[in-house]
A and B are shown apart, each in its own frame.
Chain A
Amino acid sequence: MTEKTYLLLSQANVSSKKILEYIGICEGSDHAFECLQKGSNFELFSAKEIEQIENIINQNRLKEFEFGLNKLGIKYITYENEKFPERLKQIYDPPAILYYRGNINILSEDSIAIVGSRVCTRYGMEQTKIFSNKLTKAGFVIVSGLAEGIDSIAQRECVENGGKTIAVLAGKLNNIYPFINEGLANEIVEKGGVLISELNPSANIKGYHFIQRNRIIAGLALGVFVPEASEKSGSLATVNFAIENGRQIFALPGQVNSSKSAGTNRLIRSLQACCVLEPNHIIEQFPQFKKQKLDKQKAVQLDLSEQMVLSLLENEEMHYDQILEKSQMDSKSLNSLLTRMEIRGLIVRLAGNSFARKV
């Protein structure tokens, strides 16, 4: 009976807050189901919600919903389920029900959220990979929103290194948004991770759902790490939820004149976030995890021209024309040299004909 109450109200598109409130008024979910049948305490709901609830009860559509979920391979846990993570219950506005695909047990494991801008720089991308890699190896579960940019980079790195990751989606589980991450989503499930969403699979996604899911990300994790965020980034909403709920915030400093790092730099400046320079700065905050050794550059044999190119790229990425000018080579030998170095994994070629040292 308990679970049916949650499912019914969720299918009627009642918000989590109201579901929990209603169950509270009705003194428990068992009793709440009877109340629903009788129609008592309905003053809590709006007219539209009442119409939908009555619709479901009168037409006995709950079975239909359960069958539909089964068909899509989607399961759900409710607030009262033992697998529902304790940490998430403690936030101000916890979700009443979570739909999921994959391994639900990892929700209660120690996790860290990595969130950031969708449009990120190469710096943000690289650092996210390094942090995600090391945090995964240290044993953290990575929580993120499967959005483009930082989110998906962090989660892909985690999955590729055998880690488990929780993708908190704003939309429906049967319709992954953004579409290009559908492959990644399937991989997360296959590799023992989980996709969760508060939204019932027959509802329509709205803009505010994206903000609401950020509270789940903040609620699930022990801390939130922001590698790169602009001043108006949605990841700062996650940070606000995290601060309200007493989670630790970590931010990676960026160039002061980079608009893509303005958000993270401000977090550090206002002392809201702990400034981290390497993954161990996060790991050391959680004594249950062991610090990781940073990868060292492998010693490779280089000839003179290769050494020269690497020294040119030491501190910054450089455009082809600049390398051409500074190296005093002609374009045909430089083309050949750069390609050989790329194939050997010493440098990477970037969009816009620039080159950078491989990290």
Chain B
Amino acid sequence: MLAKVKSLGLVGIQGYEVRVEADLNNGLPKFDIVGLPDASIKESKERIRSAIKNSNFKFPITKVTVNLAPADVKKEGPIYDLPIAVALLVCTEEIVCENLKDFTFIGELSLDGSIQKVAGVLPSLITARKLGHKKVIIPKENSLEASFIDGIDVFGASNLQEVVELLNGTKTFEPVPKRKFAELQTDDVQSNDFCYIRGQAQAKRALEIACAGGHNILMIGPPGAGKTMLARSIPTIMPDLTFDEALEVTKIHSIAGTLDLNEGIVWQRPFRSPHHTTTIIALTGGGRNAKPGEISLAHHGVLFLDELPEYNRHTIETLRQPLEDGIITIARNTATIEYPASFMLVASMNPCPCGNFGSRKRECKCSPSNIAKYLGKISGPLLDRIDLHIEVDDIAYEDLVAKDHLEEKSEKIKERVNKARNIQLQRYNNSKHFSNSKMTNAEMKKFCVLDKECEDLMQQAFDSLALSARAYSRILKVARTIADLEGEENIKLEHLAEAIGYRSLDKKYQFR
């Protein structure tokens, strides 16, 4: 007897339908899986055999052939355990279900018949909904991932027995209850609140602008000045994720297996800080199965690179293209996969090898050529893509111990950031991005109109600071964000001047 069961496969974050076919033939007992399975699927045989037996069902004592169609795409992962087991049970008539074709199955089996959690459930469900599948059975542990997908019934099953009962109709199961995204935005205690950081007014202001518009930022300062602390506090003032953004982010984290299954969705902007020993593959994604890398995991969030010059130069140069395009294309011989990678780059570095160049307190012992060499580790093209350069200096002792001096709380800053971000969300209602930093050229023409006064200033700045064309457009984008923070319709002179002021690194550190 022949059985056909539906399942889903993933290439990157894009899904496709997989049909699992099982057939019993006369012959010596044998279990074959065809249709380009990888090693973990070939091992499925053993798990399925035991799982069926230990769930008190019969395993067919004949020649069993399983096909995963389409047969020309390589399948990977243990998610086909459940559909194969179901197909076999249909063959042996343990399952008698008339509307089997309404169901889609994803899940890994363990030997005792229980269903284990798998990666990539959310993108699979989104595909299932697109393909018009009606009911999906997934591992119970993944069921929270399903709670935000409307228009499709998802059942969380904890073992094979339950699946059989559900299909045979001997027991009724409720689909996973839906949740509302807005309800997730709960207040939690922030340990990295900005109010704990004393002084650094300029840095805080720049971070506020960076967060509001999603701009890249570079912090330079002597060791111990508080660069890392400032960076760690960024999540507390990042604008809230919108539902669309959250789904995109969750898709990636679901595939990478980094999703918190107790949450089921990523509802806070990710903050990724890979160590400086990171490899290119770990950063950009890739490897045998072309997994998403740190830059994709930081999608719609922050990628923090502490001590930027310590990174392998080739590694950080790979950031150039994603910084511009917001996606990364990974080409491997098995597949070419595109992952979104629209992140906000936050980097920190010392101004020189000893770290004290420009410090008010300590003397720098580096020779000019050593400093130039150190700064030269970060290429011009990369620096050009960073909109805001700020210097973080040691703060004075009086500021450090002042008790009566109350710093602004993250909450307050976040309020302003959210307000500015909402203006942007409305403005870019019809485009694919959400922030000023990703503005297209056409949009810039429309939204970044300069008056005569501003144009004169830009002209002077262009000459005196020797800006590149890219710098020009990036300054305009930052100016737009500053204007949004002020709630202004048009960019004004002071907004533009402030934006220009954040791009002065290259000039300051020249030794002429």
User: For residue A335, which residues in chain B have a CB less than 8 angstroms away from its CB?
Assistant: 202, 205, 497-498, 501-502
What is the bound-complex CA distance between A115 and B360, given in angstroms?
Answer: 27
CB contact list, A295-351 vs B, under 8 A: 319-321, 324, 331-333, 335-340, 342-345, 349-351
Partner of B205, one of A331, A343, A354: A331
Given contacts A340-B497, A344-B460, A352-B351, contact A331 B202 (CB under 8 A): yes
A21-29, A32-40, A58-66, A148-156: which one contacts chain B? A148-156
The answer, yes or no, to whether A47 is at the interface (CB within 8 Å) is: no
Question: Taking CB as reference atom, which chain A residue is nearest B372?
Answer: A180
User: For residue A149, which residues in chain B have a CB less than 8 angstroms away from its CB?
Assistant: 368
Partner of A319, one of B393, B495, B512: B393
Given contacts A336-B498, A339-B497, A343-B464, contact A349 B504 (CB under 8 A): yes
Q: Interface code A214-236, partner B: CB below 8 Å = 1, 0 otherwise?
A: 00000000000000000000000
CB contact list, B453-512 vs A, under 8 A: 457, 460-461, 464-465, 482, 493-495, 497-498, 500-502, 504, 507-509, 511-512
Q: How far is the CB of A343 from chain B (nearest CB, A)?
A: 5
What is the bound-complex CA distance between A352 and B225, given in angstroms?
Answer: 11
Q: How far is the CB of B51 from chain A (nearest CB, A)?
A: 63
A340 touches B457 (CB 8 A): yes
B357 touches A352 (CB 8 A): yes
CB contact list, A256-272 vs B, under 8 A: 259
Q: How far is the CB of B360 from chain A (nearest CB, A)?
A: 6
Q: Interface code A179-194, partner B: CB below 8 Å = 1, 0 otherwise?
A: 1100000000000000
What is the bound-complex CA distance between A149 and B366, given in angstroms?
Answer: 12
The answer, yes or no, to whether A137 is at the interface (CB within 8 Å) is: no
The answer, yes or no, to whether A178 is at the interface (CB within 8 Å) is: yes
User: For residue A118, which residues in chain B have a CB less than 8 angstroms away from its CB?
Assistant: 367-368
What is the bound-complex CA distance between A150 and B371, given in angstroms?
Answer: 16
Q: How far is the CB of A109 from chain B (nearest CB, A)?
A: 26
Given contacts A349-B507, A352-B393, A354-B358, contact A343 B465 (CB under 8 A): yes
The answer, yes or no, to whether A119 is at the interface (CB within 8 Å) is: yes
The answer, yes or no, to whether B333 is at the interface (CB within 8 Å) is: no
User: For residue B367, which residues in chain A have a CB less than 8 angstroms away from its CB?
Assistant: 118-119, 148
User: For residue A259, which residues in chain B have a CB less than 8 angstroms away from its CB?
Assistant: 363
User: For residue A343, which residues in chain B have a CB less than 8 angstroms away from its CB?
Assistant: 457, 460-461, 464-465, 497, 500
What is the bound-complex CA distance between A118 and B365, given in angstroms?
Answer: 11
The answer, yes or no, to whether A353 is at the interface (CB within 8 Å) is: yes
What is the bound-complex CA distance between A178 and B507, given in angstroms?
Answer: 21
The listed residue with most A CB atoms (<10 A of its CB), out of B464, B465, B512, is B512
What is the bound-complex CA distance between A340 and B499, given in angstroms?
Answer: 11
What is the bound-complex CA distance between A338 and B359, given in angstroms?
Answer: 20
What is the bound-complex CA distance between A319 and B368, given in angstroms?
Answer: 22
User: For residue A345, which residues in chain B have a CB less than 8 angstroms away from its CB?
Assistant: 464
The answer, yes or no, to whether B335 is at the interface (CB within 8 Å) is: no
Q: How far is the CB of B471 from chain A (nearest CB, A)?
A: 14
User: For residue B461, which residues in chain A have a CB less than 8 angstroms away from its CB?
Assistant: 339, 343
User: For residue A153, which residues in chain B have a CB less than 8 angstroms away from its CB?
Assistant: 512
User: For residue B504, which residues in chain A have a CB less than 8 angstroms away from its CB?
Assistant: 339, 342, 349
Given contacts A321-B201, A333-B494, A340-B457, contact A352 B501 (CB under 8 A): no
Q: How far is the CB of A233 from chain B (nearest CB, A)?
A: 13
What is the bound-complex CA distance between A345 and B463, given in angstroms?
Answer: 12
Partner of B202, one of A179, A320, A352: A320
Partner of B369, one of A178, A321, A333: A178
**Number of interface residues, chain A, beta carbon within 8 A:** 33
What is the bound-complex CA distance between A350 and B372, given in angstroms?
Answer: 15
Partner of A332, one of B358, B365, B498: B498
The listed residue with most B CB atoms (<10 A of its CB), out of A118, A259, A320, is A320
A337 touches B497 (CB 8 A): yes
Q: How far is the CB of A31 from chain B (nearest CB, A)?
A: 47
Question: Taking CB as reference atom, which chain B residue is nearest A260?
Answer: B363
Partner of B391, one of A179, A324, A353: A353
Question: Taking CB as reference atom, which chain A residue is nearest B482?
Answer: A332
User: For residue B497, which residues in chain A have a CB less than 8 angstroms away from its CB?
Assistant: 335-337, 339-340, 343
User: For residue A351, which residues in chain B have a CB less than 8 angstroms away from its CB?
Assistant: 351, 357-358, 391, 508-509
Question: Taking CB as reference atom, which chain B residue is nearest A338?
Answer: B501
Given contacts A332-B205, A345-B464, A352-B351, contact A148 B360 (CB under 8 A): no
Partner of A331, one of B201, B360, B508: B201
A-B contact count (CB 8 A): 103
Q: How far is the CB of B501 from chain A (nearest CB, A)?
A: 3
CB contact list, B361-404 vs A, under 8 A: 363-369, 372, 390-391, 393, 395-396, 399
User: For residue A319, which residues in chain B have a CB less than 8 angstroms away from its CB?
Assistant: 360, 393
User: For residue A338, which residues in chain B have a CB less than 8 angstroms away from its CB?
Assistant: 501
CB contact list, B305-340 vs A, under 8 A: none
B512 touches A324 (CB 8 A): no
The answer, yes or no, to whether B199 is at the interface (CB within 8 Å) is: yes
A339 touches B501 (CB 8 A): yes
A339 touches B368 (CB 8 A): no
What is the bound-complex CA distance between A337 and B205, given in angstroms?
Answer: 15
B368 touches A119 (CB 8 A): yes
The listed residue with most B CB atoms (<10 A of its CB), out of A119, A320, A333, A336, is A336
Q: Interface code A144-169, partner B: CB below 8 Å = 1, 0 otherwise?
A: 00001100010010000000000000
User: For residue B493, which residues in chain A have a CB less than 8 angstroms away from its CB?
Assistant: 336, 340
Partner of A180, one of B202, B369, B399, B464: B369
User: For residue A349, which residues in chain B have a CB less than 8 angstroms away from its CB?
Assistant: 504, 507-508
A352 touches B358 (CB 8 A): yes
Q: How far is the CB of A148 from chain B (nearest CB, A)?
A: 5
Question: Taking CB as reference atom, which chain A residue is nearest B359?
Answer: A352
Q: How far is the CB of A228 from chain B (nearest CB, A)?
A: 14
B369 touches A148 (CB 8 A): yes
Question: Taking CB as reference atom, which chain A residue is nearest B462?
Answer: A343
Question: Taking CB as reference atom, which chain A residue is nearest B501?
Answer: A339
What is the bound-complex CA distance between A324 and B399, given in angstroms?
Answer: 13
Question: Taking CB as reference atom, which chain B residue is nearest A318?
Answer: B360
Q: How far is the CB of B453 from chain A (nearest CB, A)?
A: 11
B393 touches A336 (CB 8 A): no
A321 touches B395 (CB 8 A): yes
What is the bound-complex CA distance between A332 and B502, given in angstroms?
Answer: 11
What is the bound-complex CA distance between A344 and B391, given in angstroms?
Answer: 22
What is the bound-complex CA distance between A321 and B405, given in angstroms?
Answer: 15
A353 touches B202 (CB 8 A): yes
Q: How far is the CB of B443 from chain A (nearest CB, A)?
A: 24
Q: How far is the CB of B478 from chain A (nearest CB, A)?
A: 11
What is the bound-complex CA distance between A180 and B502, given in angstroms?
Answer: 27
What is the bound-complex CA distance between A185 and B504, given in angstroms?
Answer: 28
30 contacts between A and B (CB under 8 A): A119-B366, A119-B367, A119-B368, A148-B367, A148-B368, A148-B369, A179-B369, A259-B363, A320-B391, A321-B202, A321-B393, A324-B202, A331-B201, A331-B202, A336-B495, A337-B497, A339-B461, A339-B497, A339-B500, A339-B501, A340-B457, A342-B464, A343-B464, A343-B500, A350-B358, A351-B351, A352-B359, A353-B358, A353-B393, A354-B358
**Further 14 A-B residue pairs, CB within 8 A, beyond A339-B498, A351-B508:** A119-B368, A148-B367, A148-B511, A153-B512, A179-B369, A180-B372, A321-B199, A331-B202, A331-B205, A336-B501, A340-B493, A343-B464, A350-B508, A352-B351
Instruction: Enumerate chain A interface residues (CB-CB to B < 8 A).
Output: 118-119, 148-149, 153, 156, 178-180, 259, 319-321, 324, 331-333, 335-340, 342-345, 349-354
Enumerate the 8 nearest inter-chain pairs by beta-carbon distance, A residue then B residue, closest first: A352-B358, A339-B501, A351-B358, A353-B391, A336-B494, A336-B497, A336-B498, A331-B201
